[in-house]
Amino acid sequence: MAGEPSGEPALRLMVESRLVELTAVMARLRRECAWKAGQTHTSLVRYLLEETYEVVEAIEDGVPDDLREELGDLLLQIYFHAAIAEEAGEFGIEEVAGDLIAKLVRRNPHVFGPDGRSAPAGLDPEAINEQWEQIKATEKTRRSLMEGVPDELPALLRAVKALERLERAGREPEIPAGSTDLGERLLALVVEARAEGIDPEQALRAAVRKLI
């Protein structure tokens, strides 16, 4: 279509074909496959977790074909949950996508501008992340430091989240120097990793992969 930026027609064609087709396939499976018809949000949790970790493994393996397949499996879980919610009259995949688009536009004013239109970019990655968190904070009122951080997160990732929250609250982590407590020593290593710009979860996973 004349006047459209390069790439938009291809994106629209993809949205109008494969993603819509996937919605129809999922709906039919819910009607005609006894196993899929019997699933609930709760029963699918284990598969959502498994597929998420398989995506992580594919990323670490660095094989594009494996990553493409695992992303598809993860996408299936999203469509599965959306189909269940739609059957219950709650929301569908269109609402999920609509909420996400609105959030991305709202939390990236350096790209879209305050009116949703393109704005000049001039922030570094750290400032962009801080801007995202500040906007997020205005949208959700936290009643506690760790509200919104799942207890089920891996311990190292949860520690990073806790340190980030403390930092934004202007508080320093209180870790006794020379502690003999293993947990406190591990936490001190997470503090050290953050100071060096290292993701401790990924660092430990890489070390374990070398070990085995």
* Residues 154 and 97 grouped into a single domain: no
- Does residue 28 lie within any of the structural domains? yes
Domain presence at residue 118? no
Rg of the chain (C-alpha set): 21
Q: What whole-number percentage of the chain has pLDDT above 70?
A: 91
Among 30-39, 135-144, 173-182, the least confident range: 135-144
38 found inside a domain = yes
Residues 102 and 147 in one domain: no
Range picked from 134-138, 151-155, 207-211 for highest mean pLDDT: 207-211
pLDDT digits (tens, 9 = 90+) for 108-119: 988 888 776 777
Assess if residue 115 is contained within a domain: no
* Residue 110 near residue 131 (C-beta atoms within 8 A): yes
Question: Is 120 part of any domain?
Answer: no
Q: Are residues 173 and 95 in the same domain?
A: no
CATH number for position 64: 1.10.287.1080
Domain membership flag for residue 111: no
- Alpha-carbon gap, residue 98 to 105, rounded angstroms: 11
Q: Give the separation between CA 172 and CA 161, rounded to whole angstroms.
A: 14
Q: How many domains does the chain have?
A: 2
Spatial contact of 194 and 163, defined as CB atoms under 8 Å apart: yes
211 and 148 part of one domain: yes
Same domain? 89 vs 177:
no
Global pTM value:
0.74
Domain residues for 79?
A: 9-106
Task: Identify the three-state secondary structure at position 6.
Answer: coil
